[in-house]
Structure 1
């Protein structure tokens, strides 16, 4: 009753009277703190049992130890007029963060009039018809975020960084866009979203954007798609007797953290509430599996003998002129034989081997990690922070030097063996590429399916547009007498010829065992490809020699390693092929 009367008075009085009431209220609250309880606590003591108070305290302690955050968005249409309903909703639903649009607060209205116990308030005021605020539990670590972007009329937004326990922090934003805001307001929203993305944290944006996503033409939907965000709400959030629209949204870049989301009815305004339950615990790395053929027990002679045992099946190729049947017979026989020699296996991908990490480096890494643990509990210890920085530099330096020495020794041991040299080069260069491509496996199944569909659609469109453009040019082009006539006899006369099993076996026996960069691929290379390979060889020589300056000429080091330049190797191999 006291809260209701105070709300009505605030709505009726002017600024001067509000300042006077504010001073009186501050004095009353000071007295209440001296006593040890507030007005709300006094009312609760009258209407509740002592055991209920103990249960409420234990519920708060359980919430502190929980891994989840409950975030709700509602459209209040005046906080002062619905402060009791908001307080009841916070207590009953045990909400951790409440985002409110259309607060209708003025800057001269103090937080005292909208204070709710155990919650801190963060607000951006506009007056009647706008404004946003966030009620956040007082045990959560909160940092207000500000961006150097000029405010746009028609949009109010508030951004905070929230950390629960020692889990990674997340960014929560509350945005309200006025129904009659200019089109340029979307440019401001886009700029703010881009600034938030640069923080490289999980982002959760709640708000009333007044742009119906159920309509085909909406600018906000395109903005969300271009910035690679996800919009969670899929049901109308504002339902009237004549319309239903989806204007209250939840936008995020970390959809995997949302364990539950639902639209619930609201008793405050004609907008529905949006509830989300977030799991803020850092997810474990998903297990990555790789499927490949195991060549451990593969031998060329074994494969040939298996093919010889299936000669009676391969002879079926000669008994039919159907190309599809011939290909099917050959494929089935060859696949079954290869499966016996080199079966397909699926294994878990572990970290790549790092033989250059010695025991000394491991001990230094352990010391660095222990200092880092101490630093988490003693963040103000500057000496410990400097020690941690020095240990980090030392570990990185030791890893770099040890890796360089390891590969230098490997190149010396493989001197004269071109196949082994290229194998070492591949391992040295592509470990970094493989570590980057493993990040793609963190995508969900839906994301991978969507990317595959977009990829296929892109190339399908390229082929169709190319064909249409070609046909259009051919149609518009007038044939000339000097145009050459392209014969089609080769294409028309092409027919596949049957091959006997002995020919297949001879081809398999003539296959080269090495995968080195040799003369078998020089025939399809050009000048630009040779230059690329030369750059790769120069890089490998710099790594093998070590301590080479950036602009130092690499030719002396190639002579030291007794490596031919790629152009000379190309000439040597071609001469060998011609005169051998």
Structure 2
């Protein structure tokens, strides 16, 4: 999706609504009017900045490419700053390796020298043909060249494109009656679809490009996570099996390494047998059971937007009264967006059982912080209400017996090894682990909360 936004600062809410109505994976922006220090501060909701160019000597202009967050698309930002010339040839580039596609957001100021622009673009094309000779290339942006005009300059421009196996796709007007925004590519008509949308955000229409590729993920793929289910019966069975083990075999080993390996093999085998793992499929767009952000895009806003589109078309006729009505409607539209967001946030906080937490969740969402819910370490799965224990699992247990054993002089670990103290510490660590496992975290007499600190033995679900 491409849009000449003509200042993104005061239109970020409207852009969010436009992208929610016209979802895309890659969003290219011309004329963001931001400085290098500001560009990262104005990112559409659900997107992240990948590549950009900002002017340093003059105001306005600039280009940027945003990509949908968690869209499972591999991308590589391309360094093309050395090709950029302020006001003349402003670009940002992105490579999609799996699609073998290079996307370039491009902008040319109307008053700049068109012949210098053509020369600079040809220089870039030659470089791209060397680096990506087996890739597809798609320029998309406002070049301020109406390709429908039969002039020597336009003919020269199109001849340069043909010599590089490129052509202009769009021939529909994007600003009043002029076709100034275009898609320049070597994609064939069978490989893509494209069109023009009126976003009612600036005096330019938006361009969209859809790649017809079987490798392109139409749905977010699932990945697999292995989790260990701990039922009360399984815990009881594990405790029983551990109590039946003849641990003398571990103690009588001739070295610390052999003792530790035997201990871990016995423990791992019993845990796998008594508390088996299951496979849970999860979406890649975040944590499981993640709470969804409340929606502020109301039917009333949808109706206002349709009205604004109709008024925008009327204003294009040049009628002063229509233009004034459009300006007033747009001002009202922006105000209603802010109020809708505020009402949605207020309702979200008011209906939450923990209002303070809900307020912080709103703040975190605005800064795109992806944090798991407070109780994400223990969740229910299926109808059996199985308990999922996170990779960092610990319970508060009474290890007084272990401490007494460590201080008992009768607890003799004398061997022929020279490292009796080391072996003593290793075996005490094993014994402490057994006390943690043998304590029943599900019984009413013992604590049931997790303290979210690594246990001393670092014995997690992954190691099991």
Fold match, TM over 0.5?
Answer: no
TM band (smaller chain) = 0.3 to 0.5
Pick the structure with more helix per residue: 1
Length-normalised TM-score, structure 2: 0.42
Higher relative contact order (CA 8 A, sep 6+): 2
Larger Rg: 1
